[in-house]
Amino acid sequence: MIIGRAPLRISFAGGGTDLEEYHSKYTGYTISSTINKFTFVMIKLRQDKKLQGFSPDFALYLPPTEYTNTNSIQGHEIVIQSLKQLKFKKGADVYLSTDVPPNSGLGASSSLTSNIVKVVSTLQKNKLTPNEIAEKAYHIGHDILKWGVGKQDEYASAYGGLNLYKFTKEKVTVKKIKLTKSTNNELLENSMLLYLGDRKHSEKVLKRQISAINKSKKDTINALHHAKELTLMLYDALHQNDLTNFSDLLNKGWETKKKFTNGVTNNRIENITKKLKKYGAESLKITGAGGGGHIYVYAPKNKHKKIIEQIPKLGLHHVEFNYTNLGAQIFNVNNL
């Protein structure tokens, strides 16, 4: 039996430029940090060749089933396609779980795929690099399952930590961002994560964005170019341990993101963000494609109490978290 754990992430800047439709023509950049919210994958080998699946987060159960000649079973596509793409021929009991609700905007689906890739490759005694894990996970999600996803989430979960990611048609380059201890502590103290609710329209938002890129729509392309410029500026701010500039650029990034396509924001989100700033938030952004999920808030520590007191009125939930440098890892190994 093997248990794998992979982190979720908060994306600070550049989301959208990691879409293949963009970075195959233009270079993309993103900055994200992994947090101590995780996906978990437990795999136990069976005596037969069948797959049994458990996913309590989605209330899904797959009774022992022959899967090697099956293209898809609704609700279990991610496991079946991962096993097939990795040429896993044995039977297995597979348990999947996450620390956050589905469609959270924290990269859970990609984290889960990276996690499955690492666990299965470990069972196969095939030691993969973080880059290989990320590329295989991206291939499964983007090329096989046809998810409208970029590349940053697979890389974030595989590598872990606070990083600048550079995306070109040929490769992805990962550059670790090192903060001083005092800056790291200040960033954590001033950071808040608030749950908005299910992003039921996020897939449509991404599809519209991809369509706009493919059609070379000027407004979308220019917004993505500007998001990339802001990402590099935000990298410089972090590199210089300048959190004042970081906060300012975070705001500019959110305003730019709203120009990507319709649906990134809505009346509820605009009302919430306006009130959060009234309560003391210096800057904020939606963590995923938009439309819901989580809001990342940067606010002075002495403003947090007031914000937390007010968020129930806004229909939000405060999520406590910490930053982590850990990427996908094997949590427990028995009988290998």
* Amino acid 202: pLDDT: 67
Element (H, E) at 27: none
139, 111, 84, 145: which is closest to 6 by C-alpha? 111
**Interval 11-44: pLDDT, tens:** 999 999 999 999 999 999 999 999 999 999 999 9
**Interval 121-132: pLDDT, tens:** 999 999 999 999
* Amino acid 334: pLDDT: 66
- Helices 108-123 and 77-85 cross at an angle (nearest 10°) of 40
Phi, psi for 29 (deg, rounded to 5): -140, 140
| Sequence-ordered strand ranges (E) for 46-121 | 50-55, 60-66, 92-98
Residue with tokens 């500026």: 233
Element (H, E) at 176: strand 172-176
Cβ distance 10 to 284 under 8 Å?
Answer: no
- Helices 181-190 and 243-257 cross at an angle (nearest 10°) of 50
Q: Which amino acid is at 284?
A: L
* Amino acid 254: pLDDT: 97
* Amino acid 198: pLDDT: 64
What CA–CA distance (Å, rounded) separates 284 from 196?
13
Average pLDDT over residues 78-103: 94
Put residue 59 in one of left, alpha, beta given phi > 0 → left and psi -120 to 50 → alpha.
left
| DSSP three-state, residue 77 | helix
What CA–CA distance (Å, rounded) separates 336 from 122?
9
Average pLDDT over residues 144-164: 95
Who contacts 107 (Cβ-Cβ below 8 Å, separation ≥6)? Answer: 8, 9, 11, 152, 153, 156, 157, 288
**Interval 233-265: pLDDT, tens:** 999 999 999 999 999 999 999 999 999 988 899
| DSSP three-state, residue 188 | helix
* Amino acid 149: pLDDT: 86
Q: Which amino acid is at 253?
A: G
306, 319, 209: which is closest to 259 by C-alpha? 209
Put residue 125 in one of left, alpha, beta given phi > 0 → left and psi -120 to 50 → alpha.
left
- Token pair of 198 as six digits: 């299910």
- If pLDDT is split at 50, 70 and 90, which confidence band does 144 have? very high
- Token pair of 68 as six digits: 């090697």
Please indicate, yes or no, whether the overall pTM of this predicted structure exceeds 0.75: yes
Residue with tokens 């890892």: 329
**Interval 157-199: pLDDT, tens:** 999 999 999 999 999 999 999 999 999 999 999 999 999 986 6
Question: Does residue 335 register a pLDDT over 70?
Answer: no
What the chain holds in terms of domains, given with CATH numbers, is 2-178+324-333 (3.30.230.10), 181-319 (3.30.70.890)
* Amino acid 333: pLDDT: 66
Average pLDDT over residues 216-232: 96
Who contacts 35 (Cβ-Cβ below 8 Å, separation ≥6)? Answer: 7, 8, 9, 10, 106, 193, 321, 322, 323, 324
Q: What percent of the chain has pLDDT over 90?
A: 82
| DSSP three-state, residue 284 | strand
Q: Which amino acid is at 236?
A: D
260, 335, 324, 269: which is closest to 297 by C-alpha? 269
Phi, psi for 319 (deg, rounded to 5): -110, 115
* Amino acid 200: pLDDT: 57
* Amino acid 51: pLDDT: 95
**Interval 266-305: pLDDT, tens:** 999 999 999 999 999 999 999 987 878 999 999 999 999 9
**Could you give the dihedral angle defined by the CA atoms of residues 239, 243, 244 and 246, in that order, rounded to the nearest 10 degrees?**
70
